[in-house]
A and B are shown apart, each in its own frame.
Chain A
Amino acid sequence: MSVLIYAQNWDGKFKKSVYELLSYGKKIAENNGTELIALSLGNVEKDELESLANYGADKIYFSNNSAFESFDNEIFTAALKQTAEKVAAKEIILLHNNEGKALGSHLSVALKAGFVSAAVALPESYSPITIKKKVFTGKAFAHVKVNSDIAILTLSPNSFEIKEIASAATTEEMNFTLPTAKTKVESREVSKGKLLLTDADLVVSGGRGLKSGENWGMLEDLAGVLGAALACSRPVSDEGWRSHTEHVGQTGKIIAPNLYIAVGISGAIQHVGGISSSKCIVAINKDPDAPIFEVADYGIVGDAFKIVPELTAALK
């Protein structure tokens, strides 16, 4: 028996979030006295593959098959299913991102295994597996029991501490029997060189209080000195001031950075749903009664156009 994690790569590189999955999976494997298996699909250099061993992987399976160049629900599901069967996986752990969410739901049917998305902690018990997850967009948690032998989960980002554990992992190439794709990627746009909002430890976010997209320069400066990613409230992306990819909240991205700075954001319940798991929230708002102060750790009441440049200067 084993714990299987899917090590997604970005242009052949793994991210911190994959190491977080490994650390989490290792803890479960240690608890159950089983092995931790990592699966990598697509073109990844040997050195990078072996980095998975630094976080506790006992075996690394990989395939450089060109079928994995772009994501396809059926093809990736087939590869994960075949790996899960080969290693008798009891827990399958995925990133809580686009690929992980899609794979979890497909694999659930393919393996007749219960799927729990956005788990926030280690399982509370193992047979059967029960685990805590977010519900009502972070307004509550549910403790969910899995009624099948195999459990599939996606792990909410930033919910587990990354721990380096060197292990002597073996590496093995997999040969899969893959279906023919029913979908075809016609073109791709990659946001190059930009820190992804969902990966960022620090986030600077602006709302309608900034009045127009032209006023974003000061937020870019603040994000620049901090090394933070930018986000915004929904009306800001609806107005076209900023791209939809920056919209956070119930209908946008759900993030959990160490620091979230909300500038000119009132703190509507749908907005807060997307940021409430942040470790530290700072609110800058001219209205002392804005609801954002109810969820913030630190607040400044005042004019953003004065405070943000001062904050940037103080950080320099």
Chain B
Amino acid sequence: MKILVCLGNVPDTTTKIKISDNKLDATGIQWIINPWDELALTRAMELKEDANNLVDGVSVVSVGLASAEPTIRKALAIGADEAFRIDCEPTDAFFTATQLSLVAKDFDIVLTGIESSDYNGISVGGMLAEIIGSASVSAVSSLNIDADKIIVSREIDGGKETVSTQLPVVLTVQKGIAKDPRIPAMRGIMMARQKPLKVIAATSTANLTEILKFEMPQAKGKCKMVDAENVAELVNLLRNEAKVI
């Protein structure tokens, strides 16, 4: 069984967002593996190391320019066996999913995160499943392989379900899929240099959406402080000023 993890390359989650020239000002930004993708990769590694050994290999793929390679190398250092980079700027979710389908069709289990922490598209996983016509489950918070059967749990609106699925499958994963992301060890970093990172030419396809401009949220008014000795005043403000209770 072969697993593919789709990796988005996103600004570190503590980044203060600055827009200039109608795009994200990239000065000083640290780039990281999208947090959910990092957890997906962690779970894929755990499954590969499992004694039952049903997983033969873990590959990663990212749609991006050469500038995304440090992020891809990090995934190899964490333990992925091989990597693909599809050489283009990911401009829109449909465009990105179409690129990913070039690689994804050769795998049994494809993992994507539920969303990118930058543009919050919440799109690529579902689109990819639809493009390759595979089974798919969204909002997945655990993944187990049991004698060739795939068992996942997923969040539903107001609960949780255990779902079994056919292969091939695209799983859109979220929190819970793995506990903590793995940090590459020195040995892994050394080994990553020898591992294959194949660059694939992009296919031409449509952009279904396009960002015209950005807008920053309005600055909050100053916080009104209430004296700790006068908690009743807070109740009064919430009732009569904010009118929220």
Residues of B within 8 A of A295 (CB): 220
Nearest B residue (CB) for A148: B208
- B14→A137 contact, CB < 8 A: no
Across the interface, do A10 and B158 meet the contact criterion of CB distance under 8 Å?
yes
Q: Is the CB of B117 closer than 8 A to any CB of chain A?
A: yes
Chain B residues near A221 (CB, 8 Å)?
A: none
How many angstroms between the C-alpha atoms of A245 and B169 in the bound complex? 25
Q: Does A23 contact B (CB under 8 A)?
A: no
- A60 interface contact, C-beta 8 A: no
Q: Is A287 an interface residue (CB 8 A)?
A: no
B217 located at the interface, meaning its Cβ lies under 8 Å from any Cβ of chain A in the complex = yes
Query: Would you call B158 and A135 a contact (CB within 8 A)?
Result: no
Residue of B nearest to A10 (CB): B158
Query: With A105-B123, A135-B214 as given contacts, are A147 and B242 in contact (CB-CB < 8 Å)?
Result: no
Interface size on B (CB < 8 Å)? 81
Q: Given A183-B165, A259-B244, is A269 in contact with B13 using a C-beta cutoff of 8 Å?
A: yes
Given A185-B161, A186-B162: A105 in contact with B126 (beta carbons within 8 A):
yes
What separation, in Å, do the CA atoms of A154 and B114 have in the docked complex? 15
A118 at the interface (CB under 8 A from B): yes
Min CB gap B24→A, angstroms: 8
CB of A54 within 8 A of chain B? no
Question: In the bound complex, do residue B209 and residue A297 qualify as a contact, i.e. CB atoms below 8 Å apart?
Answer: no
Complex Cα spacing A244 to B175, Å = 8
Contact of B217 among A117, A140, A148, A202 (CB under 8 A): A140
Which residues from A are CB-within-8-Å of B215?
Answer: 132, 140-143
Cβ B231 vs Cβ A314 within 8 A? yes
User: Is A223's CB within 8 Å of the partner chain B?
Assistant: no
Check if A112 sits within 8 Å of B208, measured CB to CB. Answer: yes
Contact between chains at A184 and B138 (CB < 8 Å) = no
Given contacts A73-B138, A185-B162, A251-B175, whether A297 and B211 have CB atoms under 8 Å apart is no
Q: A51 contacts which chain B residues (CB < 8 A)?
A: none
- Give a binary string over A305-316; 1 marks a CB under 8 Å from any B CB, 0 the rest: 011001100110
| Residues of chain A with a CB closer than 8 A to B19's CB | 140
Query: A147 to B209, Cβ gap below 8 A?
Result: yes
Residues in A with CB closer than 8 Å to B157 are 8, 10, 95, 97-99, 196, 198
Q: Determine whether the beta carbon of A182 is less than 8 Å from that of B135.
A: yes
Q: Which residues of A sit under 8 angstroms from B176, Cβ to Cβ?
A: 244
Do B127 and A190 touch (CB < 8 A)? Answer: no
| A260 (CB) vs chain B CBs: closest residue | B244
Contacts of A303 in B (CB 8 A): 228
Q: Which of B84-120 contact A (CB under 8 A)?
A: 93-94, 97, 114-115, 117-120
- A144 and B211 contact, CB distance less than 8 A: yes
Instruction: Known contacts A132-B215, A144-B209; decide if A188 and B138 are in contact (CB<8 Å).
Output: no
Q: Report A251-281 CB contacts with B as 1/0, cut-off 8 Å.
A: 1100000110000000001100000100110
> Which residues of the other chain, B, contact A101 by a CB distance below 8 angstroms?
114, 122, 126, 138-139
Q: Tell me if B185 counts as interface (CB < 8 A to partner A).
A: no
CB-CB under 8 A from A123, the residues of chain B are none
Q: A8-B157, A106-B130 are in contact. List 17 more A-B contacts (CB 8 A).
A: A73-B136, A104-B126, A108-B123, A117-B122, A130-B212, A136-B17, A141-B216, A142-B215, A147-B210, A185-B161, A244-B141, A279-B244, A280-B238, A282-B238, A299-B225, A300-B225, A300-B227
A311 partner, pick from B207, B225, B235, B242, beta carbons under 8 A: B235
| Interface contact B225-A108, CB-CB below 8 Å | no
In this assembly, does A176 line the interface, its C-beta being within 8 Å of a C-beta of chain B?
Answer: no
Can you show 5 pairs from A to B with CB atoms below 8 A apart? A109-B97, A146-B208, A244-B176, A283-B223, A314-B232
For the complex, give the distance between the alpha carbons of A203 and B214 in Å.
30
Any chain B CB within 8 A of the CB of A163?
no
A184–B14 contact, CB under 8 A? no
State whether the Cβ of B28 lies closer than 8 Å to any Cβ in chain A. Answer: no
B1 at the interface (CB under 8 A from A): no
> Is B210 a contact partner of A144 (Cβ separation < 8 A)?
yes
**Quick one: CB contact mask for A74-114 with B, threshold 8 Å, 1 for yes?**
10010000000000000000010111011111101110111
Chain B: which residue is nearest A103 at the CB level?
B126
B191 on the A face (CB < 8 A)? no
- Cβ of B40 within 8 Å of any chain A Cβ, yes or no, is no
Q: Is the CB of B238 within 8 A of A298?
A: yes
